[in-house]
């Protein structure tokens, strides 16, 4: 009888140990693969060594981030349309961009080339494998081409140098912060925090050069500092996040001319301490826009009405410092926040009817500044 009880106790203890191990899932354990996986871009001025991969479980808990590629300051990431190649800017001087082969749960470096300016902070590419990079300190855009067959990047094909300045100490010269392909395929738009403008351009596919659009620039309210933007899926408006004054500008187009129609604060009424906006995303149904505040350390939740106007309905604390980047999961059920200066990721469940967020879980991650779902 004693032997039987002893055996039962040992089995119980071993079972508990196994359960504890499963609670911290290893990304290499294919039998326990998480529901959603994603890459993490980071700054490598601390403990981080490059690009990591992590996962989100059904209950909103995380798998531990695992290093998948050593890289210097891979602060923004993008995947090719085939998802066979991952691109990472290296936010250094001179600025570089690196291509990696996506190979199971690892990344294999394929090529690296200069971006045409210092401190690249944003990269995007289209289905034609045109690659655009925003060089923050260089104040310009770089154009390259991805060879999807072997994953290699071309040398720099062209660059668009911005000129001008704004009115604040952060706007002493051009600072291209992001660049986007327009949804209708008519060209590209970049947000320049330094010149306080949106810049509109197009790619000449014959010459592989960047050319200004007919109406090239859109001025923003003084001291705004446009940084990132989203396109509404139905109403045609562009919503631009302004870093310096913590607002979202609603931009419309009429008779070929863009204009700022309205500006909405993403900070709660009465808050007057230092804060700067960082990232913006929109729900797939176009009903809610989310934006991150660094300083107030919150995710602003805004409702979009039938006319496209915004109203701030809540600010959800990020449980960390300086939420530089965040993402809505592909199924729209969660939001994941990357808190740069508290070294953690935080997940929230998202109510699709109200747009509100509820804290789910968090995990340590070294200097996370970009989330990219694979």
Burial class (CB in 10 A: 0-12, 13-18, 19+), 110: middle
Asked whether residue 236 carries a pLDDT value surpassing 80, the answer given is yes
| Structural domain includes residue 214 | no
Q: Long-range CB contacts (< 8 A, 24+ apart) of 53-58?
A: 53/27, 53/105, 53/374, 54/27, 54/345, 54/363, 54/365, 55/25, 55/27, 56/329, 56/334, 56/336, 56/347, 57/25
Asked whether residue 73 carries a pLDDT value surpassing 70, the answer given is yes
97 token code pair:
């961009």
Asked whether residue 212 carries a pLDDT value surpassing 90, the answer given is yes
Q: What's the mean pLDDT in 5-22? A: 36
- Count Cβ atoms below 10 Å from residue 248 Cβ, excluding itself: 24
Q: What's the mean pLDDT in 19-30? A: 41
Asked whether residue 222 carries a pLDDT value surpassing 70, the answer given is yes
Give this prediction's pTM: 0.91
**Structure confidence by residue, pLDDT tens digits, 258-271:** 999 999 999 999 99
| 99 secondary structure, DSSP code | E
Q: What is the pLDDT of residue 104?
A: 86
Q: What is the pLDDT of residue 6?
A: 37
**Structure confidence by residue, pLDDT tens digits, 260-308:** 999 999 999 999 999 999 999 999 999 999 999 999 999 999 999 999 9
Q: What is the pLDDT of residue 34?
A: 78
Asked whether residue 7 carries a pLDDT value surpassing 70, the answer given is no
| CA distance between the termini of the chain | 54
How far is 39 from 371, CA to CA, in rounded Å? 6
How far is 152 from 135, CA to CA, in rounded Å? 20
Radius of gyration of the chain (CA): 22
Q: What is the pLDDT of residue 11?
A: 38
Confirm if 296 and 273 have CB atoms less than 8 A apart: yes
| Structural domain includes residue 367 | yes
Rounded to 5 degrees, what are φ and ψ at 194? -75, -45
**Structure confidence by residue, pLDDT tens digits, 184-209:** 999 999 999 999 999 999 999 999 99
Asked whether residue 21 carries a pLDDT value surpassing 80, the answer given is no
Confirm if 179 and 141 have CB atoms less than 8 A apart: yes
Lowest-confidence pick of 23-32, 179-188, 197-206: 23-32
**Structure confidence by residue, pLDDT tens digits, 316-342:** 999 999 999 999 999 999 999 999 999
Asked whether residue 10 carries a pLDDT value surpassing 50, the answer given is no
Asked whether residue 48 carries a pLDDT value surpassing 90, the answer given is yes
Q: What confidence tier does 5 reach under pLDDT thresholds 50, 70, 90?
A: very low
How far is 362 from 360, CA to CA, in rounded Å? 7
Sole residue written with tokens 């604040």:
168
Asked whether residue 20 carries a pLDDT value surpassing 80, the answer given is no
How many separate domains does the chain show? 1
DSSP of 224-238: --EEEEEE-TTT--E
The percentage of the chain sitting over the pLDDT mark of 90, rounded to a whole number, equals: 90
Q: What's the mean pLDDT in 174-180? A: 98
Q: What is the pLDDT of residue 32?
A: 57
Q: What is the pLDDT of residue 30?
A: 42
| Structural domain includes residue 290 | no
Q: Give the dihedral of Cα atoms 325, 330, 336, 340; nearest 10 deg.
A: -20
Asked whether residue 15 carries a pLDDT value surpassing 70, the answer given is no
Asked whether residue 31 carries a pLDDT value surpassing 60, the answer given is no
250-to-73, 120, 177, 218, 335 alpha-carbon distances in Å: 32, 26, 18, 12, 23
Q: Give the dihedral of Cα atoms 98, 162, 156, 369; nearest 10 deg.
A: 0
| Structural domain includes residue 43 | yes
Sole residue written with tokens 């699709």:
352
| Structural domain includes residue 336 | yes
| 35 secondary structure, DSSP code | S
Q: What is the pLDDT of residue 3?
A: 41
Asked whether residue 12 carries a pLDDT value surpassing 70, the answer given is no
Asked whether residue 14 carries a pLDDT value surpassing 50, the answer given is no
Rounded to 5 degrees, what are φ and ψ at 11? -60, -40
Q: For residue 338, give its domain range.
A: 32-70+322-374
Q: ∠ CA(50), CA(118), CA(48), 5° rounding?
A: 15
Confirm if 105 and 28 have CB atoms less than 8 A apart: yes
């Amino acid at each position: 009888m004693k032997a039987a009880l002893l055996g039962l106790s040992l089995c119980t203890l071993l079972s508990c140990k196994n359960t504890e191990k499963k609670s911290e899932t290893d990304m290499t354990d294919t039998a326990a693969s998480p529901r959603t996986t994603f890459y993490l871009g980071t700054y490598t001025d601390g403990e981080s060594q490059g690009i990591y991969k992590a996962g989100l479980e059904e209950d909103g808990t995380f798998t531990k981030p695992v290093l998948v590629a050593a890289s210097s300051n891979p602060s923004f990431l993008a995947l090719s349309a085939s998802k066979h190649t991952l691109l990472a800017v290296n936010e250094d001087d001179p600025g570089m961009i690196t291509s990696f082969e996506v190979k199971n749960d690892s990344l294999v470096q394929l090529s690296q080339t200069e971006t045409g300016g210092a401190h690249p902070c944003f990269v995007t590419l289209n289905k034609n494998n045109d690659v655009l990079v925003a060089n923050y300190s260089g104040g310009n855009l770089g154009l390259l081409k991805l060879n999807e067959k072997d994953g290699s990047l071309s040398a720099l094909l062209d660059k668009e140098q911005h000129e001008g300045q704004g009115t604040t100490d952060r706007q002493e010269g051009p600072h291209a912060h992001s660049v986007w392909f327009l949804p209708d395929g008519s060209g590209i738009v970049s947000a320049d925090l330094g010149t306080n403008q949106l810049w509109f351009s197009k790619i000449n596919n014959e010459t592989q050069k960047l050319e200004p659009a007919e109406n090239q620039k859109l001025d923003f309210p003084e001291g705004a500092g446009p940084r990132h933007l989203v396109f509404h899926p139905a109403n045609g408006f562009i919503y631009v996040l302004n870093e310096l004054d913590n607002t979202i500008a609603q931009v419309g187009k009429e008779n070929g001319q863009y204009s700022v129609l309205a500006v909405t604060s993403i900070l709660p009424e009465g808050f007057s301490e230092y804060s700067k906006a960082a990232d913006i995303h929109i729900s797939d149904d176009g009903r809610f826009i989310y934006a991150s505040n660094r300083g107030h350390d919150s995710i602003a939740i805004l409702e979009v009405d039938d006319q496209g106007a915004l109203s701030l309905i809540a600010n959800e604390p990020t449980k960390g410092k300086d939420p530089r980047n965040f993402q809505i999961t592909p199924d729209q059920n969660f939001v994941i926040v990357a808190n740069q200066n508290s070294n953690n990721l935080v997940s929230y469940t998202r109510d699709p009817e109200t747009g509100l967020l509820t804290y789910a879980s968090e995990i340590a991650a070294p200097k996370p500044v970009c989330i990219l779902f694979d």
